[in-house]
Structure 1
Amino acid sequence: MRRRGALSVAKSHGYDTLGLEPNVMEAEYAAKRFGVEVRQDYISKDTVSKYRGQYGVISMFSVLEHAPDPNHILSDVSAIQGEGDTLVIEVPHFPSISTMSQMTFPDFVNRMMHPPLHLFLFSLRSLEGMLKRHGYKINAAWLFGQDFYEMISTLGLFAPAMNQSKLLSALSPMMSELQAVIDNHNLSDEVLVVAERI
């Protein structure tokens, strides 16, 4: 489970925490940097019995987009959790201004549409369908991202003069507000959902 900083915050609020990270370097870094327990492990059919019923909240930040079979992971996670337990997922969102920018300029793909690192992008509807299939309902969803920054950065590759331009200087102080407009139109490049096991 990624975003080890989230474990540190949860721990500081009194939660018992455990991180799972198959990469030994990342697991060691998280334990050392954030002072949280991180095991070099992952949830699978072989480890479900080890974790079943122990964790009322499971978070997966930047996990499902890297997996060849996200449904398989959700199946294993749902076997661990019981009714009323919470699953928090953050994944790249489609459609988004970032993905449209990368589709428009395919030679400059970098963050969202980045095979082989990102194998999947998720619409909120597809995520809802996957979660429902595994016994979850979405209670809350947030769309957010770096779309405006990415769009401006990509345009700067085609028009290098833009990088030092008055246009960029004028837009830079407004990036947060312009991103909020994108977020309000559900075109952000990240989606975070809080789902409940039913």
Structure 2
Amino acid sequence: MDIKVEMRVVNCPLCGGRRSEPLYREDPYQMVRCSNCQFIFANPRPTLDFLYDHYQRYFPEGEEEREAWRKMMKPVFNRAAQLILKYRERGRLLDVGTGFGFFLEEMRKRGWEVFGVEISQKAITYAREVLGLTIYSGPFETLSLRDEEFDVISGFYVIEHLPEPMKFLRKCYTLLKPDGLLFLRYPHTTPIKTLLRFFGIENRLYDLPSHLSDFSPKLLQGAVERVGFHRVQHLIGGYTLPKPLGKRVASIFFGSLSEGVFYLSGRHFLLPGVSKSLLAFKGERP
């Protein structure tokens, strides 16, 4: 059964620009490129009410699917934990879009005081009742939390889902302690879309309407620096392990390839099209 989606036209979420050029369609949705800053985002896009309902159905229901989700993300979570521990041995961590809370569980094992933010009620229930985690319910940007409360804020595959990524980054800045650490994991889909289109291969890799934007490392770094973060690092940060064998092999191959290229280039070259991690520290507000 088709679901009627109410859509609205928006300005560029990064620079506020009104002009854009169509880039790709994944009916009934469309990704465009801002004519001013080159940011790629969904326009028009679904309403906030539609997106909230969408995320109530986003996560898997059964235990088997939930465990597959845990196993898929475990290598990335472990790499992120190791990286964070290089800079902070202990502290208070907030994970935004925490899902079932599996990253919080990993950091709690390492002695951290952990908190999560989530809007999916089924994920919140599991994280609270099964894992015993502290989870804030609702959109992150509207939560009432104390300023400078956290040593680390993390977000795994979250920023591309957000209607207002700059508002999210400003909130992260406000909640972090001085010199606090921001860790973001994000996809970089457009180079793969471009390659597949060259070969005439149809796909829906943007995963609309779940993903509302596609950040390049350059644009994401510019966004976090504009908010006041500095000492920005981009890393490959491991790869996921999806359950389907073909996707798992592809993830391992391209993840390993991108890691190799990154380190052989002296940590300068990030292979386009693969997921990446960003690490940044809170500096003086500009």
Report the TM-score when normalising by structure 1: 0.73
Greater helix share, 1 or 2?
1
- Runs of at least 4 residues off by over 6 Å: none
In structure 2, the gaps of 5 or more residues are: 1-95, 262-269
CA change 1:186–1:36 in 2 (3 A) is same
CA change 1:122–1:175 in 2 (3 A) is closer
Tell me the secondary structure at the aligned position of residue 36 of structure 1. coil
Partner of 1:180: 256
1:106: Cα distance to partner?
Answer: 6.0
CA change 1:175–1:92 in 2 (3 A) is closer
User: Do structure 1's residue 27 and structure 2's residue 134 form an aligned pair?
Assistant: no
Identity %: 18
Partner of 2:114: 17
Distance 1:54 1:12 in 2: 21
1:101: Cα distance to partner?
Answer: 4.7
8 Å contact kept, 1:18–1:37: yes
- Counterpart code for 1:137: H
Greater strand share, 1 or 2?
2
Tell me the secondary structure at the aligned position of residue 212 of structure 2. coil
User: Do structure 1's residue 40 and structure 2's residue 137 form an aligned pair?
Assistant: yes
In structure 1, the gaps of 5 or more residues are: 154-171
Task: With a CA cutoff of 8 Å and minimum separation of 6, indicate the structure with the bigger relative contact order.
Answer: 1
Match of 2:225 among 111, 118, 132: 132
Distance 2:196 2:126 in 1: 32
- Counterpart code for 2:108: K
Match of 1:73 among 142, 146, 168: 168
Q: Provide the aligned C-alpha RMSD in A.
A: 2.7
Alpha-carbon deviations, 1:20-65, whole Å to 9, x = none?
Answer: 1122211112223433221213332x435x2322111111112110
Report the TM-score when normalising by structure 2: 0.52
Tell me the secondary structure at the aligned position of residue 6 of structure 1. helix
8 Å contact kept, 1:27–1:38: yes
Alpha-carbon deviations, 1:104-154, whole Å to 9, x = none?
Answer: 4563214xx1221111111111111000011112443222557xxx9x76x
Alpha-carbon deviations, 1:73-124, whole Å to 9, x = none?
Answer: 1112212223200111111125544x345544563214xx122111111111
